[in-house]
Amino acid sequence: MSEALVEITGLTKDFGQTRAVDNASFAIRRGETFGLVGESGSGKSTIASMLLCLTKPTAGEIFFHGKRIDQLSTRELAPYRKDMQLVMQDPISSLNRRKKVQDIIGLPLALHHGLPGGKRTDRIVQLLELVGLSADYLSRYPHELSGGQCQRVSIARSLSINPEFLVLDESVSAVDVLIQAQILNLLNNLQDEFGLTYLFVSHDLAVVRYMCDRIAVMQAGRILEVSDRDDIFSPRAHEYTRALIAASPASLAAKASTTPPLQMEKSP
């Protein structure tokens, strides 16, 4: 229990008549990448939002470092807020298009650290370098960046206040595969360097397999199973998990390229 950084028990969320999350429980260990997969609408983002205390659960409990946080007031929550950051689903549209990179990254620093101007710029340059960008980008606007560079800026912004826990919700699906691979490697390097813990939410099972130590599979608001990566991608996995993997684009592509065309014609 002591190794759990984040734990949820019996977490439930109703939106009117819709039960978006139904009695979900799991624990995320410190330093691991925990994957959350499942079809669209299965409740992944709702769980992520409750974990970050942005959505109030209908029932259940959320623990951070063993302390219950789901019932805290806004003021009591403040010290926890900076330890957990969200990296947006679509960083390109989530970056404020009227603000320069230095102001986008500098805003959380100003809010949480109150760093004075000069020190803040030093820190912003340091953050840019951390995500593979140079000081040249300080005065650029989002529309002057590529999709991958927007993601790097978004990651820099999330890291600016030294969080322990990052929630990455589909944060690499908006860019092409090569850029995606670079961002994933960047995330892995940052995790090693700073001992970060990730909740990685995605449809893309190939990416989840590459990134995650353990994976929770969701269907219609329920957690069907939580297993080590190798068990999820094995015949031991839950029937639904195997169906999900079989239906993923990577599996379909692999199947198409290994099935001899003649054999396909012979089937009845």
Ligand X SMILES: Nc1ncnc2c1ncn2[C@@H]1O[C@H](COP(=O)(O)OP(=O)(O)OP(=O)(O)O)[C@@H](O)[C@H]1O
Q: Which two tokens stand for residue 53?
A: 């205390």
* Stretch touching ligand X by CB under 6 A, among 40-48, 126-134, 206-214, 250-258: 40-48
User: Of these partners, ligand X, Mg ion, none, which one is at the site of residue 46 (CB under 5 to 8 Å by kind)?
Assistant: ligand X
What does the radius of gyration of the chain's CA atoms come to, in whole angstroms? 20
What is the nearest approach in angstroms of ligand X to the Cβ of residue 167? 12
Question: Positive or negative CA dihedral for 180, 173, 57, 238?
Answer: negative
Whole-angstrom distance, CA of residue 61 vs CA of residue 81: 17
* Stretch touching ligand X by CB under 6 A, among 34-42, 108-116, 189-197, 240-248: 34-42
Count residues contacting Mg ion (CB under 5 A)? 1
Helices in 195-238 by DSSP H: which ranges?
A: 205-211, 229-232
CB environment 202-221: b (16+ within 10 A), e (fewer): bbbbbbbbbbbebbbbbbeb
3 alpha carbon, distance to own chain's centre: 20
20 belongs to the binding site for ligand X (CB under 6 A): yes
Q: Which is nearer to Mg ion, 42 or 241 (CB)?
A: 42
Whole-angstrom distance, CA of residue 207 vs CA of residue 34: 12
What is the nearest approach in angstroms of Mg ion to the Cβ of residue 45? 3
Whole-angstrom distance, CA of residue 34 vs CA of residue 30: 10
- What DSSP string describes 25-70? EEEEETT-EEEEEESTTSSHHHHHHHHTTSS--SEEEEEETTEE-T
Binding mask 195-214 for ligand X (x = CB under 6 A): --------x-----------
60 belongs to the binding site for ligand X (CB under 6 A): no
What is the nearest approach in angstroms of ligand X to the Cβ of residue 237? 19
What is the nearest approach in angstroms of ligand X to the Cβ of residue 40? 3
Q: Which is nearer to ligand X, 99 or 203 (CB)?
A: 203
* 23: alpha, beta or left? (left if phi > 0; alpha if psi -120 to 50): left
45 belongs to the binding site for Mg ion (CB under 5 A): yes
Q: Pick from 10, 12, 15: which is nearest to 57 by CA?
A: 12
Count residues contacting ligand X (CB under 6 A)? 12
42 belongs to the binding site for ligand X (CB under 6 A): yes
Q: Which is nearer to Mg ion, 160 or 180 (CB)?
A: 180
User: Of these partners, ligand X, Mg ion, none, which one is at the site of residue 20 (CB under 5 to 8 Å by kind)?
Assistant: ligand X
Q: Which is nearer to Mg ion, 49 or 241 (CB)?
A: 49
Tell me which residues touch Mg ion (CB under 5 A): 45
Tell me which residues touch ligand X (CB under 6 A): 15, 18, 20, 38, 40-46, 203
